[in-house]
Amino acid sequence: APLIQRLDYQQPAYWIRKVDLTFDLDPAKTLVTSKLQIERNRAVPHGPLRLHGEELNLLRVLIDGSPVSFRQEGHELVIEGAPDADFALEIRNTCCPEKNTALSGLYTSGGSFFTQCEAEGFRRITYFLDRPDVMAVYTVTLRADKARFPILLANGNLTDSGDLDNGRHFAVWSDPFPKPSYLFAVVAGDLVTREQRIRTRAGKDHLLQVYVRRGDLEKTEHAMNSLVASIVWDEARFGLPLDLERFMVVGVSDFNMGAMENKGLNIFNTSALLASPATATDADFNRIESIVAHEYFHNWTGNRVTCRDWFQLSLKEGLTVFRDQEFSMDMAGTPSARAVCRIQDVRQLRAMQFPEDSGAMAHPVRPDSYSEINNFYTSTVYEKGAEVVRMYQALVGRKGFEAGMKLYFERHDGQAVTCDDFAAAIADANPGSPLSARLDAFKRWYSQAGTPRVSARGEHDTAARTYTLRFTQHTPATPGQAAKQPQLIPIVMGLLDRHGVALALDANGATEQVLVLDQAEQSFVFENINAEPVPSLLRGFSAPVVLDDGLSDAALLVLMRHDSDPFNRWEAGQRLALNRILHALRAGQPLQLSPAFIDAMRGVLNHAELDPAFKELALTLPGESYIAEQLDVVDPQAIHAAVMAAQVQLASALRDDWAAAFEAHQVAGGYTPDPVSSGRRALANLALSMLVLDAQSTGDTVWPGKAYQRFKDASNMTDRLGALAALVNANAALAAPSLERFHALFKDDALVIDKWFQLQARAPEADGRVFARAKALLKHPDFSLKNPNRARSLLASLCMFNPAAFHRADAAGYVFWADQVLALDAINPQIASRIARAMDRWAVLAEPYRSAAREAVARVATKADLSSDVREIVERALA
């Protein structure tokens, strides 16, 4: 596939202003009739009309009612003789939804029809200028068998419906908002709906609907509540109202991602929509709230103002992730619960985006080239993009950011724009801010890949009573980008004395400041500092960088105990653990936790005031992939051994404290997924897993027995899965009967069975047992490569989230990976290429893993008919 370059962008030769689509829906052969009002774009030289089309069967092409000559060139339909004046183009084609296993375009799932058009799926429905800068008004007529497909939905408002001959019926939908084709959607099937009305501030009434399969309706209450909360929040925080009379959300079990923000007709993976206390964990409830909010927020950031081209994807995705993160924090409420959200977001960024930024697929937030756009729905575009938006807010303040957003919508509502347009709006609304002064340096966040390394060293001058902080910044080379320029980096910071008391940083007595770095080297001097302070830098993780502050363990202990910034309190604990683990790995010695570290952890666990949710995060050791990030040469087995050793020591040293914490954090009463009770459940589950792990070493049977009892008696999935995980992760004798029982209990609930596969594939490896089990699960009657959730629950869990089970000295993990990627590629290239990314970082592996991993990647690359999705991933890996 050709490489598409950002700088090659050109406006289209034609605009499509109006679209009138008719679907005669049939799973085997759907007939699509498309009538387009087209206008030549006089801003560019006259050329042929080139429409995209894939996997279609073309029946006829008419211009202004008369047949016209055309040719098909690859995936394009080329019409040379299009009129200079406005004209009507009519196209008829068929497609085959039931054979569409790629789940892009129009497909069937569970006997119903669904569409997925982002990024380039509309061209698999009909021929079109399938690019986001072509915005049109759509009218859609759906015709289908009434008994099999009683519900017929498309974007916008229902304007007509009725019965037809032969048991068929029809519905006509009109969407008044011009939109790009990627926001088009159709759903047809036998679905049921939960409805709610909502009145917005302007006094307008709106209908909210959640459509799901029969039997799932009672699992939609949380999604509906989340949708209502999102609507209220967007109006309150950004003044952005719901602009549609009717807002629909639909669940589907076969879906490539979490959800899709089609205008007025969001389509959701059931995993991101359905929840009941018995089947979904606290984490699921949180994820649903944030994805429902994310898709709803796209209605303004993405739909009302969209992307000019796909290189600008972070314009909508980074901004919308930022908005959903802010929403989740506001919903969480207390400062401590907000900090828990922030820590979870940063942990995710470090686990996924940092490795991406230092691997074969490293790319800027605004990529410069791609061959398959589906490969660029990445954590760099999404999560790092959200951090970039967060930095705007850090640099101009919350009010300044809101003013910038207001200006952005005033300027660009109804347009398809670029990241430059967004930057200009925020800067123009905040003249005199450090952002406006150095917008050039800030915008390097969009153009430079790689995670900047910031180093900070402090020097106290006793005589002058000054404290000088010297910073350097440097961004490592990434593929195609050897040299980097300094970026604008906001460092939120404070200073503490040795006893943990916050020091005044200026004459006004402020104890927190934002330092703005924009040079390779820079110093800041603080006056009236009597003694060597402990710096607390990068509070709240104010920039997505790796910070080396050179702090001693003693200084980290001060921060961990006293910092007013909860993020940095957590960070200090993580750093202490990381230092121990890295020291052991570098020295090739067995890991030994220090008494000081264990005491500090005991202090956290038994702390009278800290929230349980915070304690759980602080007592969880850094993840194996984050540890790997700190090393030049990665031995996944050694990392796993060190983390397991640390866990066993922490389990044993705090045995009595864990037991007390487990008992003290039981949640009485009915289940609610609120931050307080979910925090208590999280800490109780961590304590239980530590106690069962410890029991494995001591031979004790009491705690495994208690875990089994809890697993059997649990009244909610968080407790049940927590107890099951404690047994499985410790490889307790009761793990096997528990897994069997869990499967029998939930065999009819696909989302729960996904958890069953995932838990087994992610279990800590010991003696190859986990890998062997995962391989055997491929043959389980419930396993299928065709369902993305199921494929991910086994393949991604093993290959991407279980390094010690995957990276084996005998290379069996890599053979498994190559076989599964190739098998999946023939079914669903998007999912195959996601799994293919497990090998992004093969080059940093220690031998013998490195050579074997490379060989496996090369084997996949030699396959002749690979999809463009997988080909791009393996070729970048080998480059």
Q: Is 175 in the site for ligand HT7 (CB under 6 A)?
A: no
Q: Write the interaction track for Zn ion spanning residues 489-528; mark x where CB under 5 A is met and - where it is not.
A: ----------------------------------------
In single-letter form, the type of residue at position 738 comes to S
Q: Which of 20/317 has CB closer to Zn ion?
A: 317
Q: CB of 339 within 8 A of CB of 568?
A: no
Nearest distance in Å: CB 302, Zn ion: 7
Q: Which of 313/732 has CB closer to Zn ion?
A: 313
Number of H-type helices and E-type strands within the chain: 31, 31
Binders of ligand HT7: how many residues, by CB under 6 A? 15
350 binds, among ligand HT7, Zn ion, none (CB under 5 to 8 A by kind): none
Q: Is 677 in the site for ligand HT7 (CB under 6 A)?
A: no
Q: Where are the alpha helices (DSSP H) in 333-374?
A: 335-348, 354-357
3-state DSSP assignment of residue 184: coil
* Buried/exposed 833-871: b ≥16 CB within 10 Å, e otherwise: bbbbbbbbbbebbeeebbebbbebbebbbebeebbbbbb
Q: Which residues on adjacent β-strands are paired with residue 743?
A: none
Q: Which of 317/571 has CB closer to ligand HT7?
A: 317
Residue with tokens 């985006």: 353
Q: Is 295 in the site for ligand HT7 (CB under 6 A)?
A: yes
Q: Is 380 in the site for ligand HT7 (CB under 6 A)?
A: no
Binders of Zn ion: how many residues, by CB under 5 A? 2
Please give the Cα distance from 460 to 566 (Å, whole number).
Answer: 26
Number of Cβ within 10 Å of residue 606's Cβ equals 14
Please give the Cα distance from 193 to 244 (Å, whole number).
Answer: 18
Active site residue 295: yes
Q: CB of 518 within 8 A of CB of 485?
A: no
Q: Write the interaction track for Zn ion spanning residues 278-317; mark x where CB under 5 A is met and - where it is not.
A: ---------------------------------------x
Binder to ligand HT7 among 118, 309, 694, 825 (CB under 6 A)? 118
Query: CB burial class (10 A; 0-12, 13-18, 19+) of residue 115?
Result: buried
The piece of 114-122, 592-600, 663-671, 719-727 that touches ligand HT7 (CB under 6 A) is: 114-122
Nearest distance in Å: CB 712, Zn ion: 40
In single-letter form, the type of residue at position 7 comes to L
Q: Write the interaction track for ligand HT7 spanning residues 446-485; mark x where CB under 6 A is met and - where it is not.
A: ----------------------------------------
Q: Is 389 in the site for ligand HT7 (CB under 6 A)?
A: no
Positions in 244-263 near ligand HT7 (CB under 6 A)? 256-257, 259-261
The piece of 138-146, 200-208, 290-298, 794-802 that touches ligand HT7 (CB under 6 A) is: 290-298
Q: Is 377 in the site for ligand HT7 (CB under 6 A)?
A: yes
Please give the Cα distance from 145 to 152 (Å, whole number).
Answer: 10
Q: Please tell me which residue in 118, 295, 317, 326 is annotated as part of the active site.
A: 295
Positions in 772-831 near ligand HT7 (CB under 6 A)? 830
Binder to ligand HT7 among 116, 181, 303, 620 (CB under 6 A)? 116
Nearest distance in Å: CB 696, ligand HT7: 41
Nearest distance in Å: CB 298, Zn ion: 6
- Find all residues with CB under 8 Å of 289, minimum gap 6, and list them: 222, 226, 229, 328, 331
Nearest distance in Å: CB 324, ligand HT7: 9
Give the chain's end-to-end CA distance (angstroms, integer).
16
Q: Which of 647/789 has CB closer to ligand HT7?
A: 789
How does strand 306-307 pair with strand 416-417?
parallel
Q: Which of 324/754 has CB closer to ligand HT7?
A: 324
The piece of 2-10, 115-123, 329-337, 527-535 that touches ligand HT7 (CB under 6 A) is: 115-123
3-state DSSP assignment of residue 622: coil
Q: Is 374 in the site for ligand HT7 (CB under 6 A)?
A: yes
Query: CB burial class (10 A; 0-12, 13-18, 19+) of residue 368?
Result: middle
Nearest distance in Å: CB 295, ligand HT7: 5
Residue with tokens 């759907």: 30
Q: Which of 87/377 has CB closer to ligand HT7?
A: 377
256 binds, among ligand HT7, Zn ion, none (CB under 5 to 8 A by kind): ligand HT7
CA distances to 310, 369, 415, 556, 850 from 7, rounded to whole Å, are 12, 9, 20, 46, 36
Q: CB of 614 within 8 A of CB of 602?
A: no
Nearest distance in Å: CB 258, ligand HT7: 6
Torsion of CA 104, 751, 320, 178, to 10 degrees: 40
116 binds, among Zn ion, ligand HT7, none (CB under 5 to 8 A by kind): ligand HT7
Please give the Cα distance from 492 to 586 (Å, whole number).
Answer: 32
257 binds, among ligand HT7, Zn ion, none (CB under 5 to 8 A by kind): ligand HT7
Q: Write the interaction track for ligand HT7 spanning residues 547-586; mark x where CB under 6 A is met and - where it is not.
A: ----------------------------------------
Nearest distance in Å: CB 510, Zn ion: 37
Q: Which of 320/793 has CB closer to Zn ion?
A: 320
Cα 127–Cα 128–Cα 131 angle in degrees, nearest 5:
140
* Buried/exposed 125-144: b ≥16 CB within 10 Å, e otherwise: bbbbbbbbbbbbbbbbbbbb
Q: Which of 259/818 has CB closer to ligand HT7?
A: 259
CA distances to 26, 40, 124, 139, 313 from 104, rounded to whole Å, are 17, 29, 7, 21, 18
357 binds, among Zn ion, ligand HT7, none (CB under 5 to 8 A by kind): none
How does strand 57-63 pair with strand 168-180?
unpaired
Nearest distance in Å: CB 716, ligand HT7: 28
Q: Which of 322/524 has CB closer to Zn ion?
A: 322
Nearest distance in Å: CB 262, ligand HT7: 9
Nearest distance in Å: CB 873, ligand HT7: 15
For ligand HT7, the nearest residue by Cβ is 257
In single-letter form, the type of residue at position 590 comes to P
Please give the Cα distance from 201 to 192 (Å, whole number).
Answer: 29
Q: Which of 277/367 has CB closer to Zn ion?
A: 367
Q: Which residues on adjacent β-strands are paired with residue 481?
A: 478
Q: Write the interaction track for Zn ion spanning residues 310-329; mark x where CB under 5 A is met and - where it is not.
A: -------x--x---------
Q: CB of 117 within 8 A of CB of 291?
A: no
Q: Which of 380/758 has CB closer to Zn ion?
A: 380
Q: Which of 317/624 has CB closer to Zn ion?
A: 317
The two structure tokens encoding residue 96 = 């085959």
DSSP letters, 282-293, are HHHHHHHHHHHH
Single out the residue of 178, 126, 113 nearest to residue 152, CA to CA: 113
Q: Write the interaction track for Zn ion spanning residues 56-95; mark x where CB under 5 A is met and - where it is not.
A: ----------------------------------------
Q: Which of 266/320 has CB closer to Zn ion?
A: 320
- Residues at the contact surface with Zn ion, assessed by CB under 5 A: 317, 320
Instruction: Summarize as ranges the residues that interact with ligand HT7 (CB under 6 A).
Output: 116, 118-119, 256-257, 259-261, 294-295, 298, 317, 374, 377, 830
The residues annotated with a catalytic role in the active site are: 295
